[in-house]
Amino acid sequence: MRLALLIIFPVALAIGMPVAVSLGLSSAIVIVTYGLPVNVLAQRRVNALDSTPLLAVPLFILAANLLTAMGVTNHLFDVVRLLVGHIRGGVAQVSILLSLVFSGVSGAALADIGALGAIQISQMKKQGYREDFAAGITISVTTIGPIFPPSIPIIIYASVANVSAVKLLLAGIVPAILITLLLMIQVAITARLKNLPRDDITPSRGAIARKFLVSFPAILAPVLLIGGLMSGYFGPTEVAGVTVAYALFIGLFIYQTLDWQGILRSMQETVEATASILFIVSAAALFAWVLTMDRVPVTVSTFLLELSDNPLVLLLLVNILLLVVGMVLESIAAILIIAPIIAPALAAAGVDPVQLGIVFVFNLMIGLLTPPVGMSLYMVSIVAKMPIHLVIRGTMPFLISMVLSLLAVTLVPAISTWLPNYLVQ
């Protein structure tokens, strides 16, 4: 059974079928061929979507779309630029810090590129940066969004691996800050070695104060979100709902740049994005059920535990596996297919489920930066109107910071586990 499934699925991908269709079709063929109950086709897909944590996904997407529609990204860019833009390589540093702030409302790498990519790249090119460098730093900072709460991949991982979504979301805060710091250090070194330009902006205390006052409602959105999670009064779904309400409030009554047409457009974009994600979720649930029926998780667990009973060794092996998988498979599909197989084995070996969740998602986000399937590469190529080979060339040096961050999170569990263990009892 597993052989048939693992042959049909890649063949379907190879002939150009979408990931969700390939997952569902291969599962359906195996179910019918081997005489398994046909009603499972509908039952498993519906059950997979009957999840309260998954309700946070469309709400966070809607919140990000509303904030983008009202022009929040421009306010955030201006205030960060005034603060650090004057130093050498300042606009690149602005891109890094801006992504950290905006990731507190977006939850997805591609959302960050869509909202910030054009602004960041055009500003750096205007200041005299090489276009491949501008594309590379823009892509690299998008790994922060899916690690820092609210992370859509982390919410999906939590629902699949039966881990506390609140703990996992909180666990991403320190790793995201670590990625930010290492990227800023790398840009600072590059600025000295390659004499990167300074921004032509002249900051003053008055200008900074005025721009900060204008940007304060936008900056408060991620603060509200993270504060709600850390307080323990809200789960991911409740926080997502509050963030949507807050976005509507500041868009309609404070900035007054959000009209009903913008709201409807944001809702339409949310429906399209959510439908795509949940279609993959339901199809992957069916695929995972077939694998479970064939005892694949048990087989993989036994195999891994026979290789080693050392949690660190197993975690390093999983890192290698996921880095390869991330190069060829869309991240949400990879989470839904592989997490139910890998998570039980590593939990049995003593790996903290929260640490594993962050390592798992981090690996797949690095996959977004690597060919042949790295979606971030292609999206930046479109946004910047730049040949894909230049985008790849600009991204490769920043993999140093990514890999160092991943190693730190892998080797030091406390980086991801300390904060959630401290705040959530």
In tens digits, the chain (425 residues) has pLDDT values of 667 777 787 788 778 787 778 888 888 888 888 777 778 778 877 887 877 778 888 888 888 888 878 877 777 777 777 777 677 888 888 888 877 877 756 556 656 666 566 677 877 888 788 888 888 888 888 888 889 888 888 988 998 888 988 899 999 999 999 999 999 999 999 988 888 887 767 777 777 788 788 888 888 888 888 888 887 777 788 888 888 999 899 999 988 888 899 999 989 988 888 888 888 888 888 887 887 777 776 777 777 778 787 888 889 988 988 888 877 777 888 888 888 888 888 888 889 999 999 999 999 888 878 776 666 777 777 777 788 888 888 889 999 999 999 999 999 999 999 999 988 76
- Answer yes or no: is 313 within a domain: yes
- Answer yes or no: is 337 within a domain: yes
Domain count, the chain: 1
CA distances in angstroms from 361 to 99, 179, 262, 334, listed in the order given: 18, 14, 32, 10
* 172, 358 contact by CB (below 8 A): yes
CA of residue 46 relative to chain centroid, distance: 25
Give helix then strand counts, H and E, for the chain.
23, 0
Q: What are phi and psi of 88, to 5 degrees?
A: -65, 130
What is the rounded distance in angstroms from the CA atom of residue 388 to the CA atom of residue 50? 39
- Answer yes or no: is 13 within a domain: no
- Answer yes or no: is 214 within a domain: yes
CA of residue 250 relative to chain centroid, distance: 25
Q: Which domain holds residue 130?
A: 39-423
What is the rounded distance in angstroms from the CA atom of residue 225 to the CA atom of residue 168? 14
What is the rounded distance in angstroms from the CA atom of residue 293 to the CA atom of residue 400? 41
- Answer yes or no: is 9 within a domain: no
Q: What is the DSSP letter of 253?
A: I
- Answer yes or no: is 51 within a domain: yes
First to last CA, the chain: 42
Q: pTM of the full predicted structure?
A: 0.84
At residue 311, the 3 state secondary structure works out as helix
- Answer yes or no: is 5 within a domain: no
pLDDT value, residue 115: 59
- Answer yes or no: is 44 within a domain: yes
pLDDT value, residue 116: 64
Residue whose entry in the numeric block shows the structure tokens 């960041």? 120
